[in-house]
Chain A
Amino acid sequence: MKRILISTLMAISLSGFSQVNLDTLKEKIDEHNAKLNALDERLSTDEADLFKLAKIKISGYIQAQWQHREGYDYTTSGKGYQGALLTFGQFQAQNGGATTLTGAFPQYGLSNNNTFFLRRARIKFTYEPADGIAFVLQPDLSTGGLALKDAYALANFKFCKGLALWAGQFNRPNYEVEYSSSSREVLERSMVIQKLYPGEREIGTKIEYNSPKIPLHVQLALLNGNFANAFTRTSTNKATIDAVDNDPQKDVMARAYYTIKLKSISWLGIDIGTHGYFGNVNSDINTGLIGSNYKLYIQNSNYTSVKRFDSPASVATDKYSIDSTKTPGACLKKQWFGGEMRIYLDILGGLAIKGEFIAGQNIVSGSTTTASTTYKIDTLTGKSSTTIGSDGAITVNTVTSTKNSTNPTTYLNGTAKTTISPFKIRQFSGFYVYFIKNIGKKNQFVLRYDVYDPNTKVKGDGVNTSSDIAISTIALAWQYYFNDNIRITLQYDMPQNEKSNNAAFKTSTATVVSNLGKDVKDNMLSVRVQAKF
């Protein structure tokens, strides 16, 4: 009996004990579960944030450069360096035709012939919220201020694979324009490209088709058509002016290229293509004119310089004639065509030959030079103080009278500007050819020959303005790919100008004028270090 009692008591006490233990264990498990759930929750939040971050891609590059250029003998003021290229040649092209260099372009003092500078410092942000959709923003932070290079949205169409729509600010459809500055084998683009597509970018929209079945690439773009063009600027505030669309007509660009790869000759690849530009410049837009109603444009019918006013007609009696087919405010056509070919040969580590030829009609702004013959336009101004330069530039020396609204002087009255730079129409042509040979895995030799003739209708001494001088350039470059991120380039440029005893160019001082009867000393040696990430 006693034994039974003890056993019962023990059983009761043990069951109580195990119940207590189980409860404690359950509590502990619940506690840990709660902790794990909290961690899980935090991890899910972090994971979601990381997922968003993974959709943002950041890349960029910095190009630090040293440049030495040949000196130009001012003749009147001794040896000097500045200016020889500022209004002429490569530098003018780089700066979109502007006569003063700003931003990342090398700034030379009068007694200096070499300098360090930062050519580009870019950072590119790409956000891809979903498959086939991207937003791209690329500022340039190089010396001289912040500039926006790319800002566009890109969407791939679901119903047609390979078809994509772009909107915003992006590169114009052209091979060398779209060829990234960080990958290009020479330091700067060819002069014909720099002249036709200054700043490379444009605001508008573009449709691209990359066929998934065949290596065909087609681009069609609708653009404002005035971006970065010097003659549309009426203010020194470039950023503001660039964004202004000055005419209602939109410019159209189209490009297509096809890659030929022969199975029987696996070491050979050929890209062949074409592109065209079809645009307008409204003749009402004139940087030199302040009065917005002032009707004036220039038609270059004899290819030396021709102007046209809405009144009076008497100016037709001098060497400038009126083109009666044009009405004031008419659009002047800006259009050209190009053909491109690139050959890739897998010979001893790789060889490429690339070339493009472009020709057509461009609209350029008149120079403000007032040399040569002076013509009086009494009936235009009512005064004898207005002069026209040989290139069509008009200088109104003094304007004091206020006449009735049919007389153009009404619009000039009281304005601060006294120089008019009317548009000129020019037939141009240009081409470039690259020869690129890889030397081992890390080195590359490049030879480029490029030619740009801004006015094909005049040759030699027939050219009477520096802006019509043709320039050919031989560029020799050596690339050394230090590693995946760093590249060092050594380049020597040898520009050769067309010779004309009737053309001159100004230096940046705007007082020293040199004859272009000889080749200008403007060869350049450059060393660039590029860091890319």
Chain B
Amino acid sequence: MKKRNIITAIALGVVFTIATAFMVKQKITVKGSDTLVILAQRWAEVYMKSNPNVEIQVTGGGSGTGIAALINGSTDIANASRQMKQSEIDKLKERYNSMGVEIACAKDGITIFINNSNPVTELSIKQLSGIYTGKIKNWKEIGGPDAAIKLYGRENSSGTYVYFKDNVVKADYAASCQTLPGTAAVVNAVKKDKYGIGYGGAAYAEGVKDCKVKKDDKSTAYLPTAENIKSNVYPISRYLYMYLKNRPTGEIKKYIDWILGPEGQKLVVEVGYFPVK
């Protein structure tokens, strides 16, 4: 009798172990772009509700941080608001013998935030470059009040920082530019500062004024609306990316397919960005 009990207990133990082994949640880690973090969190929340066997951990830190985490193996997915640099691809090759996989998951218009009380409504790329390089120091030079311009921007680990530098500033940022740890912080600073100006992802623009942007003095200025971004008339729009070491498989593939599918892309719009399809 005793022997039978022991055998039964062992059998149950084995069955339980096997069962729990299959019940272990699949964990997916996502790290990177602060621009994408609110969207990535939303995706994760909704996906986990319908897929309770999957646990998705989302953290920000900036595109550079996310890509570095992908290279050193501490994240499955790196979110980035810029494309991977050649030096980063080289590092990925060194460690994983892979060129990496790039997935464009959303589109964003870099929005220029100005205080609601500021009468300025539109700026050209050249004017923005002048402002952020420190050549244009006073709002009155660009049709605003006689007050010094206060610059707010992102840290250099941010993809938005890189994108804005490469495509708008096209030189070094002025030393007076105050760097802040996230787009929400930039928006908050501009909200409080009558003479402030900032930039960041369109989804964050709350309590501040979106400034129209034009390619040059002769062009028409546009707001970063869905239509303008879709039709590529808004001059500072970009793709947002997810990077993986290798082609996705298993649960990660399912998750990415869902993000690129109608449900995931619907959330893109809900959060304030623009779908890729």
Measured CB to CB, the nearest residue on chain A to B94 is A183
Q: Give complex CA distance A134, B107 in Å.
A: 34
Given the complex, which residues of A lie within 8 Å of B96, measured CB to CB?
350, 438
Given the complex, which residues of A lie within 8 Å of B247, measured CB to CB?
266-267, 346
A484 on the interface (CB 8 Å rule)? yes
Given the complex, which residues of B lie within 8 Å of A109, measured CB to CB?
none
Evaluate contact between A346 and B99: CB separation under 8 angstroms. Answer: yes
B72 to chain A, nearest CB (A): 5
Q: Give complex CA distance A351, B93 in Å.
A: 10
Evaluate contact between B74 and A484: CB separation under 8 angstroms. Answer: yes
Evaluate contact between B86 and A217: CB separation under 8 angstroms. Answer: yes
Within 8 Å by CB of A131, from B93, B101, B156, lies B156
Q: Give complex CA distance A282, B123 in Å.
A: 64
Residue-by-residue, is A252-272 near B (CB-CB < 8 Å gives 1, otherwise 0)?
000000010100001101010
A154 on the interface (CB 8 Å rule)? no
Given the complex, which residues of B lie within 8 Å of A269, measured CB to CB?
93, 98-99
Measured CB to CB, the nearest residue on chain B to A269 is B99
B177 on the interface (CB 8 Å rule)? no
Evaluate contact between B95 and A436: CB separation under 8 angstroms. Answer: no
B89 on the interface (CB 8 Å rule)? yes
Q: Give complex CA distance A351, B245 in Å.
A: 12
Evaluate contact between A180 and B94: CB separation under 8 angstroms. Answer: yes
Evaluate contact between A215 and B94: CB separation under 8 angstroms. Answer: no
A271 to chain B, nearest CB (A): 8
Residue-by-residue, is A262-291 near B (CB-CB < 8 Å gives 1, otherwise 0)?
000011010100000000000000000000
B171 on the interface (CB 8 Å rule)? yes
Q: Give complex CA distance A210, B85 in Å.
A: 10
A441 on the interface (CB 8 Å rule)? yes
**Interface SS of B by simple majority:** loop
B141 on the interface (CB 8 Å rule)? no
A158 on the interface (CB 8 Å rule)? yes
Residue-by-residue, is B150-182 near A (CB-CB < 8 Å gives 1, otherwise 0)?
000000100000000010000110000000000
Q: Which A335-361 residues have a C-beta within 8 angstroms of B?
A: 342, 344, 346, 349-352
Within 8 Å by CB of B99, from A179, A344, A349, A438, lies A344
Evaluate contact between B89 and A350: CB separation under 8 angstroms. Answer: no
Q: Which B87-113 residues have a C-beta within 8 angstroms of A?
A: 87, 89, 93-99, 101
Given the complex, which residues of A lie within 8 Å of B171, measured CB to CB?
158
A481 on the interface (CB 8 Å rule)? yes
Within 8 Å by CB of B97, from A158, A351, A441, lies A351
Evaluate contact between A344 and B98: CB separation under 8 angstroms. Answer: yes
How many residues on A have C-beta within 8 angstroms of the other chain's C-beta atoms? 27
Evaluate contact between A350 and B86: CB separation under 8 angstroms. Answer: no
Evaluate contact between B87 and A350: CB separation under 8 angstroms. Answer: no
Knowing A210-B87, A217-B86 touch, does A346 contact B98 (C-beta < 8 A)? yes
Residue-by-residue, is B183-207 near A (CB-CB < 8 Å gives 1, otherwise 0)?
0000000000000000000000000
Evaluate contact between B97 and A344: CB separation under 8 angstroms. Answer: yes
Measured CB to CB, the nearest residue on chain A to B170 is A161
Residue-by-residue, is B39-82 near A (CB-CB < 8 Å gives 1, otherwise 0)?
00000000000000000000000000000000011100000000
Evaluate contact between A484 and B94: CB separation under 8 angstroms. Answer: no
B158 to chain A, nearest CB (A): 13
Within 8 Å by CB of B246, from A212, A215, A349, A436, lies A349
Given the complex, which residues of B lie within 8 Å of A266, measured CB to CB?
101, 247
Within 8 Å by CB of B172, from A131, A210, A215, A481, lies A131
Evaluate contact between A179 and B172: CB separation under 8 angstroms. Answer: no
Evaluate contact between A215 and B86: CB separation under 8 angstroms. Answer: yes
Within 8 Å by CB of B72, from A212, A271, A342, A484, lies A484
Given the complex, which residues of A lie within 8 Å of B86, measured CB to CB?
210, 215, 217, 259
Residue-by-residue, is A406-440 near B (CB-CB < 8 Å gives 1, otherwise 0)?
00000000000000000000000000000010100
Evaluate contact between B73 and A352: CB separation under 8 angstroms. Answer: no
Q: Which B233-268 residues have a C-beta within 8 angstroms of A?
A: 245-247
B-to-A contact residues, CB < 8 Å: 72-74, 86-87, 89, 93-99, 101, 156, 166, 171-172, 245-247
List 7 tightest A-B contacts by C-beta distance, closest first.
A352-B97, A269-B99, A183-B94, A350-B98, A350-B97, A484-B72, A346-B246
Using A259-B99, A346-B247 as known contacts, list a sample of 12 further A-B pairs with CB atoms less than 8 Å apart, ordered by residue number in A: A179-B94, A210-B87, A212-B166, A259-B89, A269-B93, A269-B98, A342-B93, A344-B99, A346-B99, A346-B101, A350-B97, A436-B97
A-to-B contact residues, CB < 8 Å: 131, 158, 179-180, 183, 210, 212, 215, 217, 259, 261, 266-267, 269, 271, 342, 344, 346, 349-352, 436, 438, 441, 481, 484
A and B contact pairs by CB, cutoff 8 A, 28 listed: A131-B156, A158-B172, A180-B94, A210-B87, A212-B166, A215-B86, A215-B89, A259-B86, A259-B89, A261-B99, A269-B93, A269-B98, A344-B93, A344-B97, A344-B98, A344-B99, A346-B98, A346-B99, A346-B247, A350-B96, A350-B97, A350-B98, A350-B246, A351-B97, A352-B93, A436-B97, A484-B72, A484-B74
